[in-house]
Structure 1
């Protein structure tokens, strides 16, 4: 290849340079170089910064012409030369060259680098199709031999020594999510045999001791490390996912209700610690009208799209399927059957989020705590406990009752509950008096509120 490049250079310098570009990226691919090494090669070869953007997989890598990584959140200029990673796809590699038309060499650099990047993403970000639909079922089956589950985990791209969690959608096959302790964002596989994608943030996992290319040879190409900056598997430095930031209750309000989560562990409508009031734990601040009440509600008085009042949705995972989902705990890969069992239990605590079935659509098993024990006491489709029967009878005669009671148990005060369903505080007091008459127990005492929480939770569990 070197001899061919030399001969071509004598005839056509651009053709000779193009051959050297091809040979350079072939060497990087053979050494299984990572994303950053490939983007660095494109930048140094082109003499301008190179930018890799794959929004779907949360990958963004930018390297200066001198080989220094310097990421930027600025969007790529449409005028820069680029190459899509897949035909018609949004993910692309860009050369930040706007002052002149791209050369033939630039085109070759983009084509070869984009092809190598695509192979790395398919290999490391779980984009390759999973052909055997039994892999997910095997890795979740407690009766399968350990060797079979390890083989299935490897087939799904999971690290047998890492962690993962199971998801139990109401309408859909079981899913497996790679643990965030091992990767920036999760792989997701369902038992229909197709990978639903893996997202990753930042650079490839680790790098070898050799640094970036620091010079050029007489042909104008980098003289960097012989292994091309091959990653060596450095672990991601992110913090564990799913850790709650909310502290314990600190007192009671003037209604006599706790200002923090209730004893049942189902109420979490608190502002994120250290963030502006009104910001939920999983996303941006909720929109509020001038009165201070949240806006964007459904006709039933329930918030349309808010999750901060839902008890167990503060740790939303990216890419969850629509509808009701139970989320199992993150466990070692060999313990995925346990995560799957707990995910199915969590699914029973979910609700449709409507006026007739208020509650969270997504429930995390590891946030249920002792409340999960109720699932073993209330059998689906069996005769409901007396308090649940009282709720059903009262809800059938009073359309606003269930949504009102859910607001009471999922907020920190009666005034917050009134704002949650967009009614005046005095109106809520009247509604509670009527509900107490229908149910037969007080709702404005800690004991009565806990009893109500348990009754609403058992109502979900009693469904067939």
Structure 2
């Protein structure tokens, strides 16, 4: 590689420098260098400070050309050369060089440094949420309680999980449509941040790598409590097992696809009577007051009272008393569980 770089330098100095950059970062990667060493290499090669910020994995690092690590306490400048760590992601690695036109060498430094940094982060802190889908066979093995422990550890390392880190925690995610996933403990799929999820999701608790089968079982149970979120299936599209508490025990009582309990049949009959029924009942069951429920479905308080009189007649029990409201909550929950995944 050194000989090739020397020959190229006599023809094209930038090409020779680019080859030397590639060889430099390949050597660091082969020797399993850490993040600070990689960023120091980028700063020294570029002759300016290098900065790494990965908010998903809580990494903030800055190194100056003389090799000193400093705090990241200033904002980035729009003109600094930068690259993302994931396809179509936000910039995460910068060379703090004032805008001075495109540089082939800077581009190569950023590309090779980003590749090396990504490898280290995947190995030590788990894959970022924006990465491409991992090998489904590896995920399946990690989540399989019947797989031997060595096989699960090997699969976890194949997914970029640092099994030697005793503090590492991950979550299993079950999707109504799509393969299972394993995400870092700090990553909570949430429709309130970044847009709605792609379909319904059940999220398991944060556990050690070898306990992921337990997180997977809880994620699958949480998935049964999800809803599409529309007028005919109101409810949460993402449910976390951590938030269920004792309600999760209902999954052992209501078998998917079994004959629904009588209260669920009553809810279904009422829903067939009016298109607003399910949304109104869900609002009453999940808000703090009837006025809040009226605001939730965008009707006047008196209109809500009229609707509830009609609903109570169809259901056969009151929904405006504490006991009746609790019965309604159970009925709506059992309706989700009875339909299966």
- For Structure 1 versus Structure 2, the TM-score category normalised by the shorter chain is 0.7 to 0.9
| Alignment of 1:169 onto 2:166 | no
Matching of residues 64-143 of structure 1 within 5 Å: 64-65=64-65, 67-71=68-72, 74-78=75-79, 80-81=80-81, 91=91, 93-98=93-98, 107-108=104-105, 111-112=108-109, 114-125=111-122, 126=127, 130=134, 133-143=136-146
For residue 351 of structure 1, give the secondary structure of its aligned residue in structure 2. coil
Distance 1:365 1:62 in 2: 37
- Residues 1:384 and 2:274 aligned together: no
**339 and 441 in structure 1: CA distance in 2 versus 1, 3 angstrom threshold:** same
User: Which secondary structure does the structure 2 equivalent of 1:459 belong to?
Assistant: helix
Q: Deviations over 1:415-438 (max 9, x none)?
A: 111111111112112211221121
1:350–1:359 Cα contact (<8 Å) kept:
yes
Q: Is contact 2:142–2:213 with CA below 8 Å preserved after alignment?
A: yes
What aligned pairs does 1:297-376 form with structure 2 within 5 A after superposition?
A: 322-376=198-252
Aligned to 2:146, the other structure's residue is in SS state coil
- Per-residue Cα deviation, 1:362-421 (whole angstroms, up to 9, x for no partner): 111121111111111112222211111111111101221110010111111111111111
1:436 aligns with 2:309: no
Q: 1:448 aligns with which of 311, 314, 324?
A: 324
CA displacement at 1:147 relative to structure 2 = 2.2
Larger RCO: 1 or 2 (CA < 8 Å, sep 6+): 1
| Separation of aligned partners in 2, 1:370 and 1:352 | 23
Q: Is the 8 A contact 1:38 1:113 kept in 2?
A: no
Give the CA deviation at 1:119: 2.0
1:330, 1:339 within 8 Å by CA — same for their partners in 2? yes
Equivalent residue, structure 2, for 1:32? 32
Change (3 A) 1:329 1:425: same
Q: Distance in 2 between matches of 1:86 and 1:463?
A: 37
Alpha-carbon distance in 2 for matches of 1:389, 1:100: 70
CA distance in 2, matches of 1:74, 1:91: 13
Aligned to 1:204: none
Query: Structure 2 regions of 5+ residues with no counterpart?
Result: none
Q: Residue 182 of structure 2: SS of its match in structure 1?
A: strand
Aligned counterparts, 1:32-51, within 5 A: 32-44=32-44, 46-51=46-51
Deviation digits for residues 160-214 of structure 1, max 9, x if unmatched? 343222111011112122333xxxx5xxxxxxxxxxxxxxxxxxxxxxxxxxxxx
How has the CA–CA distance of structure 1 residues 100 and 460 changed in structure 2, closer, same or farther, with 3 Å as cutoff?
closer
Structure 2 residue corresponding to 1:179, chosen from 185, 201, 210:
185
**Measured at CA, do residues 53 and 21 of structure 1 come closer, stay the same or move farther in structure 2, by a change above 3 Å?**
farther
SS state at 1:168 partner: strand
1:195 alignment partner in structure 2: none
Greater share of residues in helix: 2
Match of 2:297 among 396, 421, 440: 421
Shift of the alpha carbon at 1:134? 2.0
For structure 1, which runs of at least 5 residues remain unmatched after alignment? 6-10, 186-240, 243-281, 283-304, 308-315
Tell me, yes or no, if the aligned pair for 1:168 and 1:326 is still in contact at 8 Å.
yes
Could you say what the CA RMSD is over the residues aligned between the two structures, in angstroms? 4.1
Is contact 1:327–1:362 with CA below 8 Å preserved after alignment? yes
